[in-house]
Structure 1
């Protein structure tokens, strides 16, 4: 049962949570103290009568240890089981695993947790966590990676189950990775975690909001940092695509540490650079007149059309015309009709537009540079009390460029009838004309994003015979500055056109003299300040069930987050053409109390129940109680059965709720016009630059989820291990950003976008003037599928160890309804929703040598959406995307000097994803799942002292 109010909650906890309604007036420290007082009291009551009066509590009985050595693995990387194999059963400690706060001795519990070791990360050849996790099969629909053309151009994330990155929670050492400032305080940026400091990654593919709170709907990624490191390690890696162009990588890291019986300290310094890849450095992303890929109708010289086609005051726009200086090979033709709004007279016309090859001057992947310093330390004050501290400084810069800013009629770009540069001037019927013009004299738009993050986390752990108390306090500050150069001052360019000082139909060099008067740079700054404090108590209960003693944990957390987004004065006032943004920001406090209890009802059966109450100040008075129930059954010595039910939720981020809106120029396909033409090869079916306006999302409400899972772990032999897990996740009241493309798709299916407070504004002839996009709560969606892993290890005396692993996710259904009344469609097999992602790996180790081969597979899918096929009647001639397979390989050798050399290649067979302009517009290929770099050869040198 989903408990929604405080009164119902008290039935389950015997604690009054009405105290949570205390006023939030005052500073964050006052709010923190108030929250601490009330919630500690609540936790005390939860634990009352559950702590033993006896000093010596019995420990949990150690069950037979059934480790699934073949836990799900990453992208064909072999699981490193050495740590588990080296530890004897008597030495196994109680540990906290991802997905539970209980201290437990059975590592293979009721949760499907994937472990990616340090060795796996090195074998991948990747230099960032984002790239490693992008290839994880559970990331079933791919994820966002650094790309040009966005303020988030340096961001990388992960989207488990294809549910979206904001439904996958990322932790670092069990604590939340702070939200991404340039993402509006939404999502988490994996680019802000240096690879050199990562010891392992644990991935829980199950709902965990009852443990970790908001966003943990699809699962949790827990990044464990290195500790207990002794010595000094220097690593350098050079990577380069075998194809011409950019994408070269340089990485240098220094890791050092000392460790003794009193504690340890580990530090890492990392520097990483990736060079820019231009769009014209790959054939499929270069400008191509065949299909007009990489071309735009916002051209130089300008295209124009009269604003009163019938010349009778009805103000019907005429067809587009190219300037006489346009190369005839760059003119596209699109048949249209013009209908008189009074008489109904229909006239057949043809848009003839000059095309501009923007792909020839645009970057495809940004240049990035990252510098980071990370320190992780632990100190044993006494045998029972230890202090830990973690500090980091990270600086991330990315640079990208795009074609010159388009000046279009939709935002009022016109030339008066009496202007001498007007193409109709001097004719018998001079008229005002609308213009689409790209002033190349300004140069490319350059985007520079600088992010600085400071983080400090500290706390102490008290371990005793009574239990374990963990406390922590975290401060985090992230400041991102987005600089956009070579934009245009709206009033200045209009005035200079009216005065005749700028001719949009003349040569670019004629405009150069006036560029200083119209050029403007836009600035945006986003900041996130975070304070978190919490405590967790985990212990046994003096209640012995047939399977052993009960165990429980209780905890509390206070979280205060402030987000601020500001723009320069020119942008805020709308003075910069084609882009505006208003300030946004505010604060949000969250107070949480949680508990978890394990019931070993039989020697073979353990049932775990967890509950968590979260209360937020934004949205106002938002609160949620989520719960989970999990079971683990030891069916046989070699077989474990597991099942779970969990509830989840997600609150809208601060920027969504408080943003004031803004304007932008977006790439999108006019699906309605494309459907009316009925010819997917028509220029109308290509993505074009469309003026968009963002609607504030103050009315967006939280979303909820329900998840079911069941699975089996089978250790068939000591060498052969298998896991199979079925999942079913349902999202209710889905928080969704209706992008410009989503709004156009919605309109094309026959639904009025105003239903969701978005809109498409067209002129009387059906051409788009602008699109209003924004956030909305949609009905939701549901997905089902199966995760599987089969792992085999063969050890020999003379030939080394051989490990083989097959890991994958098979998506059975992904049902969604884009709008009420349209019907529910299964998206599996349609655009960006493959039914299968799998990875097969082979690893060999012998003395100082090792080798790795990984095969990554993604099933093919239709280029259409299900709405395209079933509602819009778009034919199969738009094409399909075939299955895609890449092979990674590396070989390593350690010299007697403790120098390890690794030579490898990612995408050894040099595969490039197949493009499809219908599915991805001018993006050409699936950026979340696809591959554009081709083969990347790398050499890594690691020296240990």
Structure 2
């Protein structure tokens, strides 16, 4: 047994007590777990996230944050994504609301350091899951079975030398209960004060057998969670849509209802209702000032999707002898996200070709001047090309379903003086996108307009309604599957015992076989351009990965210890990589510890990034054609409703020529106890990445049409067909900053026990290159195109602070989350007076109380967003949600929650 060494007991207990970041738990723990108590003085060696060597937990040299499951449940966190939002270093760019208006997505993702979700490795019980099939480079947090969790360990350091690819920004290890005996039922409800967004959650867990006494344990968990949708009209800050004078927005889609037209004879564009304000028929239409109408589509969408998640996990553990055990673990989890956006779009190309254009002829009863639609002076009387949006069926509704299955067989224990673990696992991730309503057969719409059945300028009659209902396209139009078959082995032991301490050694290997299949149902996808998959081709990819790794824990002197790790990986499709890590832990005094590390890392391009079928979809923001509408002014041969402030088609998808990303990471930190029961930690981190994989932001392409001339693909008549924007290796990223932790356990009082904790991250630099060798651009506290595919921002400072109280069976938690403001997107469509708009800082408070005085029953009640703080105003147009940025804020508002947990036996 290894001899206990490390910080004093009071500090160790604070670190390991589970009182971590923002959840009432002491933050920034040096160790992942401490087993010593007053009644059980025996210490055990445990495996810590970020190391292959089992050791006494206090000896770890990496900065690890531990979040205990019991504590995040008390604050009303119902999903893994919500739990991770309380980690200051997690600057995620993609949550469940980000699915609105997007296809082929991961449901929600973690993003340590703001480097992108692909650079944060997510583990379940120390092993990989298959990444989301559609995203391919990130695990969908919505499929993590949080009801089965014991804790979450967050390694805030690069770890490619230990885990291989993806661990550039850090590692998040979701750890389930080791064993369980009894039967437990939990139920939770969350009721927002405003309309929409209600949640409910139920989970049942049970287990049988005492591992030590009976030699076996079986346990299982079933967890169900759902949340209702929220419409833009349900929240004041989103109800304005694109017409929000408070942030300088007055924009809408040129594909309008009532429809805009282009008259081939007079070569003019207009709208029959423009002279009377456009909204005689449609409350969301408004005049543009050039005789056409715009449609405020963002005022009609759902800003929070309806979600439904279910997870089942079962585990059987068998004690082979006193030192060895075998286990089998089965996981099935699925997440459904239902989104709603504005009605289907039918953009006339002004070609006059009835096979591609949307035309209305003189014989249609809805032709302007034929008695139903107001006449327009100067029309030639010939066919009109339409830019039309359907207002029927309540918009377009679709559902994205992601599911994960994993079977794990494992052995671990001690053999011949070696601690070992080995396992075989097989993971499958499946995803599919399904059209639920509002998507229309393009050819049927063309025919209905020509035949005079569809009214593009007003309400439909019974025949038109029936026709459009029959023209709906329903069903699954694309699906994907990724698999990971893996075998791993790790062994560690104490090689020698020196006067300075024990020399620890570990070695191991891993083999993985990854496959990916992406399928397009062209029988369905080709019927509607809005699917974005009409031009896509089904594809597949596979690879083999082999890895060998080793690690040493070297006691240099009694107060100084080194960790040295080396890992080599071979990818059958992108080559070889070797990555080292060196870390030092120095403790010159019992209340003071320093740590530092240097490592290299890498991320292999995912099979999805390489093989995603190239397909066309509309840009998120609106742009001007740089040739036909430069600077927003119509040029000769240009048409305002087609060329100005439009969402143009964008060809995106995979690229088989992608190269791996490479990184270097450096950290330097200290943990000290200035006075009894007060812990302070400060960690500096510095990360550099080369060859980042992403897409060139559409704003960059339209903003510099000369530089990106090759990205513009035009039709024979000179109009813009689409822009090319597939995955590429861009330039470098350089970010650095500080993590700060504070924990204070106050002396016991007659009024109870109090604790105060703070977890904060201060970023001092975030620069990126949009191309190799290009200039560095700032993304720190400034909205830019350097984060993710759609742009974003890295906050300068984020923190979660927590005040804990307990007395007898009563306990309470007051939690504050804070994020600094930033310079807004301020796109070209924003009014001149708002070009320097600043997004304000954002603060939320959560309050909860728990009572455990009843036998076998605990009750929790609380208020989320105690002061009903709205998200700060933003003029961002990269998202489908206007008026605020859904990636960094919570649109739900004040919500009340109750939770009951009953232990049957």
> How far has the Cα of 1:283 moved from its partner?
1.2
> How far has the Cα of 1:417 moved from its partner?
6.9
Equivalent residue, structure 1, for 2:227 = 274
Match of 2:548 among 593, 617, 624: 593
Match of 2:255 among 289, 295, 298: 298
**Structure 2 counterparts to residues 714-729 of structure 1, below 5 A:** 714-729=672-687
> How far has the Cα of 1:427 moved from its partner?
6.2
Equivalent residue, structure 1, for 2:787 = none
> How far has the Cα of 1:731 moved from its partner?
0.9
Equivalent residue, structure 1, for 2:661 = 703
Alignment partner of 1:62 is 2:4 = yes
Could you tell me whether the CA contact under 8 Å between 1:293 and 1:917 is conserved in 2? no
Alignment partner of 1:413 is 2:357 = yes
Alignment partner of 1:163 is 2:120 = no
Deviations 1:464-493 (A, max 9, x none): 352112110112223333211332223333
Q: Distance in 2 between matches of 1:251 and 1:168?
A: 27
Match of 2:328 among 389, 414, 424: 389
Q: Distance in 1 between matches of 2:733 and 2:642?
A: 31
Q: Distance in 2 between matches of 1:770 and 1:87?
A: 69
Deviations 1:850-906 (A, max 9, x none): 0100111100111038x999xx99876441111111001111111232211111011
**Structure 2 counterparts to residues 160-309 of structure 1, below 5 A:** 160-183=112-135, 185-243=136-194, 245-258=195-208, 259-261=210-212, 262-287=215-240, 289-291=243-245, 295-306=252-263
In structure 2, relative to structure 1, the CA distance for the partners of 1:142 and 1:441 (3 Å cut) is closer
Deviations 1:187-219 (A, max 9, x none): 101111122101000000110011111110000
In structure 2, relative to structure 1, the CA distance for the partners of 1:305 and 1:786 (3 Å cut) is same
In structure 2, relative to structure 1, the CA distance for the partners of 1:733 and 1:671 (3 Å cut) is farther
Alignment partner of 1:558 is 2:519 = no
Equivalent residue, structure 2, for 1:854 = 815
Equivalent residue, structure 2, for 1:567 = 520
Farther off after superposition, 574-583 or 845-854? 574-583
Alignment partner of 1:447 is 2:391 = no
Could you tell me whether the CA contact under 8 Å between 1:453 and 1:476 is conserved in 2? yes
In structure 2, relative to structure 1, the CA distance for the partners of 1:790 and 1:70 (3 Å cut) is farther
Question: Secondary structure of 2:339's partner?
Answer: strand
Q: Distance in 2 between matches of 1:305 and 1:482?
A: 34
Q: Distance in 1 between matches of 2:864 and 2:251?
A: 27
**Structure 2 counterparts to residues 861-940 of structure 1, below 5 A:** 861-864=822-825, 877-918=835-876, 920=878, 922-924=880-882, 925-940=884-899
Q: Distance in 1 between matches of 2:550 and 2:513?
A: 21
In structure 2, the gaps of 5 or more residues are 351-355, 369-374, 634-639, 784-792
Could you tell me whether the CA contact under 8 Å between 2:663 and 2:690 is conserved in 1? yes
Alignment partner of 1:840 is 2:801 = yes
> How far has the Cα of 1:443 moved from its partner?
4.9
> How far has the Cα of 1:704 moved from its partner?
0.7
Question: Secondary structure of 1:379's partner?
Answer: strand
> How far has the Cα of 1:501 moved from its partner?
4.0
* TM, length-normalised to structure 2: 0.87
In structure 2, relative to structure 1, the CA distance for the partners of 1:646 and 1:76 (3 Å cut) is same
Q: Distance in 2 between matches of 1:163 and 1:503?
A: 48
| Alignment coverage as a number of residue pairs | 848
Farther off after superposition, 351-360 or 528-537? 351-360
Q: Distance in 1 between matches of 2:146 and 2:844?
A: 23
Q: Distance in 2 between matches of 1:330 and 1:374?
A: 47
Equivalent residue, structure 1, for 2:561 = 606
Equivalent residue, structure 2, for 1:525 = 479
Question: Secondary structure of 2:557's partner?
Answer: coil
Q: Distance in 2 between matches of 1:873 and 1:704?
A: 41
Farther off after superposition, 793-802 or 644-653? 793-802
Deviations 1:223-268 (A, max 9, x none): 110123332221111111111x111111111122232412433321
Q: Distance in 2 between matches of 1:692 and 1:206?
A: 36
> How far has the Cα of 1:560 moved from its partner?
1.2
Could you tell me whether the CA contact under 8 Å between 2:824 and 2:875 is conserved in 1? no
Question: Secondary structure of 1:519's partner?
Answer: coil
Q: Distance in 2 between matches of 1:479 and 1:154?
A: 11
Deviations 1:493-526 (A, max 9, x none): 3234334444433532353242255322252222
Q: Distance in 1 between matches of 2:755 and 2:646?
A: 49
Match of 1:377 among 308, 316, 322: 316
> How far has the Cα of 1:822 moved from its partner?
5.2
Question: Secondary structure of 1:487's partner?
Answer: coil
Question: Secondary structure of 2:253's partner?
Answer: coil
CA RMSD of aligned residues (A): 3.3
Q: Distance in 1 between matches of 2:630 and 2:85?
A: 34
Q: Distance in 2 between matches of 1:434 and 1:144?
A: 39
Q: Distance in 2 between matches of 1:489 and 1:98?
A: 52
In structure 2, relative to structure 1, the CA distance for the partners of 1:556 and 1:355 (3 Å cut) is same
Could you tell me whether the CA contact under 8 Å between 1:888 and 1:905 is conserved in 2? yes
Could you tell me whether the CA contact under 8 Å between 1:279 and 1:361 is conserved in 2? yes
Q: Distance in 2 between matches of 1:428 and 1:252?
A: 63
Match of 1:121 among 72, 75, 83: 72
In structure 2, relative to structure 1, the CA distance for the partners of 1:786 and 1:89 (3 Å cut) is farther
Could you tell me whether the CA contact under 8 Å between 1:294 and 1:358 is conserved in 2? no
Equivalent residue, structure 2, for 1:514 = 467
Q: Distance in 2 between matches of 1:330 and 1:806?
A: 45
> How far has the Cα of 1:319 moved from its partner?
4.5
Alignment partner of 1:401 is 2:340 = yes
Q: Distance in 2 between matches of 1:390 and 1:152?
A: 29
Equivalent residue, structure 1, for 2:788 = none
> How far has the Cα of 1:921 moved from its partner?
5.6
Could you tell me whether the CA contact under 8 Å between 2:840 and 2:873 is conserved in 1? no
* TM, length-normalised to structure 1: 0.83
Equivalent residue, structure 2, for 1:734 = 692
Deviations 1:765-803 (A, max 9, x none): 9x8543332111001211010001011002416333211
Q: Distance in 1 between matches of 2:105 and 2:654?
A: 23
Match of 1:75 among 14, 18, 22: 22
Equivalent residue, structure 1, for 2:581 = 628
Match of 1:355 among 294, 308, 311: 294
Could you tell me whether the CA contact under 8 Å between 1:442 and 1:515 is conserved in 2? no
Alignment partner of 1:652 is 2:596 = no
Alignment partner of 1:436 is 2:390 = no
In structure 2, relative to structure 1, the CA distance for the partners of 1:389 and 1:284 (3 Å cut) is same
Could you tell me whether the CA contact under 8 Å between 1:330 and 1:354 is conserved in 2? no
> How far has the Cα of 1:943 moved from its partner?
1.2
In structure 2, relative to structure 1, the CA distance for the partners of 1:694 and 1:87 (3 Å cut) is farther
Q: Distance in 1 between matches of 2:219 and 2:50?
A: 26
Equivalent residue, structure 2, for 1:805 = 757
> How far has the Cα of 1:356 moved from its partner?
3.0
> How far has the Cα of 1:402 moved from its partner?
2.2
In structure 2, relative to structure 1, the CA distance for the partners of 1:657 and 1:735 (3 Å cut) is same
